[in-house]
């Protein structure tokens, strides 16, 4: 399964593409779309849309996972972020790709195991899970990879997207209580 993660932003939108067989994740490409600070806001959105359209056509993912807005310092920041998310979603939908959204807490929980993990913890786990020598740069790319990993760790969504997942019959039944657990 190939998942394309997006961490939206109006100045810099991170992206990360990962291939996975369900057990091993492999980095395909990551980076950030940088819209010039001197450009007008509509031009920044056009740059984000155009670059993501090219990347999606090039990598042809099975799914696009986008970080959901949770809150912003002020209303203006939230609106700008919402516009960036909108053009990212439009690029994915026009590419014919399924779009899923995850909150920051869901992403942290899926990648680190703790919904209030700090950014350095998430970055370190992205490095470990992808078997990389160094943490990807810029930070927006690392965040986008975390969004993609979150989707890959969501088994129910992998089934919907057609990825191979072990059938429940082949797995040992899970104990109803930790008291009954036997390794």
Instruction: List the structure tokens of 62.
Output: 């099975």
In this structure, what token pair is assigned to residue 150? 């979150």
Give the residue among 58, 2, 119 at the shortest CA–CA distance from 127.
119
Question: Considering 51, 106, 140, 143, which one is annotated as catalytic?
Answer: 140
**39 classed as catalytic:** no
Q: Which of 7, 51, 106, 143 is catalytic?
A: 7
The two structure tokens encoding residue 34: 């940088």
Q: Buried b vs exposed e over 116-151: b needs ≥16 C-beta within 10 Å?
A: ebeeeebbbbbbebbeeeebbeebbbbbbbbbbbbb
Sign of CA dihedral 74, 80, 86, 91: negative
* Rounded CA separation 133/128 (Å): 9
The answer to whether 43 is a known catalytic residue is no
140 catalytic residue (yes or no): yes
Q: Within 10 A of 93 (CB to CB), how many other CB atoms are there?
A: 12
Which residue among 51, 67, 106, 143 is the active-site one?
67
- So which residues are the catalytic ones? 7, 67, 140
């Amino acid at each position: 399964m190939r998942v394309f993660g997006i961490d939206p932003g109006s100045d810099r939108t991170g992206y990360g593409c990962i291939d996975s067989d369900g057990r091993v994740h492999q980095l395909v490409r990551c980076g950030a779309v940088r819209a010039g600070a001197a450009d007008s806001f509509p031009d920044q959105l056009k740059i984000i849309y155009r670059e993501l359209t090219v990347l999606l056509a090039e990598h042809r993912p099975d799914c696009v996972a986008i970080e959901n807005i949770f809150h912003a310092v002020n209303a203006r920041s939230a609106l700008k972020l919402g516009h960036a998310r909108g053009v990212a979603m439009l690029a994915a939908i026009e590419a014919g790709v399924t779009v899923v959204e995850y909150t920051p807490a869901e992403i942290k929980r899926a990648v680190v195991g703790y919904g209030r993990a700090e950014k350095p913890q998430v970055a370190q786990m992205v490095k470990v899970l992808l078997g990389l020598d160094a943490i990807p740069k810029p930070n927006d790319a690392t965040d986008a990879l975390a969004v993609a990993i979150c989707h890959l760790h969501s088994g129910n969504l992998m089934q919907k997207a057609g990825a191979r997942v072990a059938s429940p019959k082949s797995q040992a039944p899970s104990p109803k209580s930790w008291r009954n657990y036997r390794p």
